[in-house]
């Protein structure tokens, strides 16, 4: 395969990743290099970058070939995720704008309900790439700035349908369905589930 170009768009990044993910085996180092070689340009990703004043947003940019997807996450000032797992998926995160903090936690004991243990904390800035899967632990992502927004590009393989979300104080977890604020630049319809009669 040819070396990825440093000026590729999200569309050409998706094409390169589709080629990589046509194989059953995922080469983490190769995917990491491809993600690093995509250089952030707001002119490219801004059509996917939709902010919400109350929560961070997940915006689907590319569905891949069914073996991965690319999602643009938009983080308002001071916003963060829950502590969460990745449902046995590979997860790559690239900072497109601003900076983000990752706090990595040990998996809690199933038998004990205690405060969760922090393994470490890392701050990521423009164009840096992080990688996690469930064997490394579980994490929380936060925009710790109270004056600047942040944007990140996430690759999940295989695409995540659900994940476990954890309470830091008790390590209690619930299973959550993953949703998108928008798909391909268009707002997804908001619907309220019908009540059973």
Cα 115 to Cα 8: distance, rounded to the nearest angstrom: 43
Residue 43 lies in a domain: yes
Q: Please check whether residue 185 is in contact with residue 170, taking contact to mean a CB–CB distance below 8 angstroms.
A: no
Q: Where are the alpha helices (DSSP H) in the chain?
A: 10-20, 28-37, 42-45
pLDDT in 10s for each residue of the chain, 197 residues: 444 456 579 999 999 999 999 988 889 999 999 999 998 899 999 999 999 999 999 999 999 999 999 999 999 999 999 999 999 999 999 999 999 999 999 999 888 789 999 999 999 999 999 999 999 999 999 999 999 999 999 999 999 999 999 999 999 999 999 999 999 999 998 654 444 44
Residue numbers of the domain that contains 84? 10-180
How many C-beta atoms surround the C-beta of residue 114 within 10 A?
10
User: What's the confidence (pLDDT) of residue 26?
Assistant: 82
Cα 102 to Cα 112: distance, rounded to the nearest angstrom: 25
Q: Please check whether residue 73 is in contact with residue 60, taking contact to mean a CB–CB distance below 8 angstroms.
A: no
Give rounded-to-5 percent helix, strand, coil for the chain.
15, 35, 50
- Report the domain count for the chain: 1
User: What's the confidence (pLDDT) of residue 190?
Assistant: 67
User: What's the confidence (pLDDT) of residue 2?
Assistant: 46
CATH of the domain at 44: 2.60.120.10
Residue 185 lies in a domain: no
121-145 per-residue burial string, b: 16 or more CB within 10 A, e: under 16? eeebeebbbbebbbeebbbbbbbbb
The pairing of beta strand 186-187 with beta strand 90-97: unpaired
Residue 108 lies in a domain: yes
Residue 193 lies in a domain: no
The first and second tokens of residue 104, run together, are: 């990595």
User: What's the confidence (pLDDT) of residue 164?
Assistant: 96
DSSP helix/strand/coil, 9: coil
Cα end-to-end span (Å), the chain: 56
Phi-psi region of 182 (alpha: psi -120 to 50; beta: other; left: phi over 0): beta
Residue 195 lies in a domain: no
The first and second tokens of residue 133, run together, are: 């899967």
Residue 197 lies in a domain: no
């Amino acid at each position: 395969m040819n070396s990825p170009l440093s000026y590729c768009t999200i569309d050409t990044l998706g094409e390169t990743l589709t080629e990589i993910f046509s194989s059953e085996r995922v080469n983490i180092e190769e995917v990491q290099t491809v993600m690093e070689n995509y250089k952030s340009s707001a002119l490219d990703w801004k059509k996917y970058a939709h902010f919400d004043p109350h929560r961070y947003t997940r915006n689907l940019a590319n569905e891949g070939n069914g073996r991965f997807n690319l999602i643009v996450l938009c983080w308002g000032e001071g916003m963060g995720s829950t502590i969460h797992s990745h449902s046995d998926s590979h997860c790559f995160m690239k900072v497109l704008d601003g900076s983000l903090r990752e706090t990595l936690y040990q998996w809690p004991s199933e038998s004990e309900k205690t405060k969760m243990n922090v393994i470490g904390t890392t701050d990521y800035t423009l164009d840096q790439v992080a990688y996690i899967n469930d064997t490394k632990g579980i994490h929380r992502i936060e925009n710790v700035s109270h004056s600047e927004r942040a944007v990140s590009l996430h690759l999940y393989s295989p695409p995540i349908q659900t994940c476990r979300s954890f309470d830091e104080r008790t390590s209690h977890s619930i299973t959550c369905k993953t949703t998108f604020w928008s798909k391909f630049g268009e707002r997804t319809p908001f619907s309220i589930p019908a009540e059973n009669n």
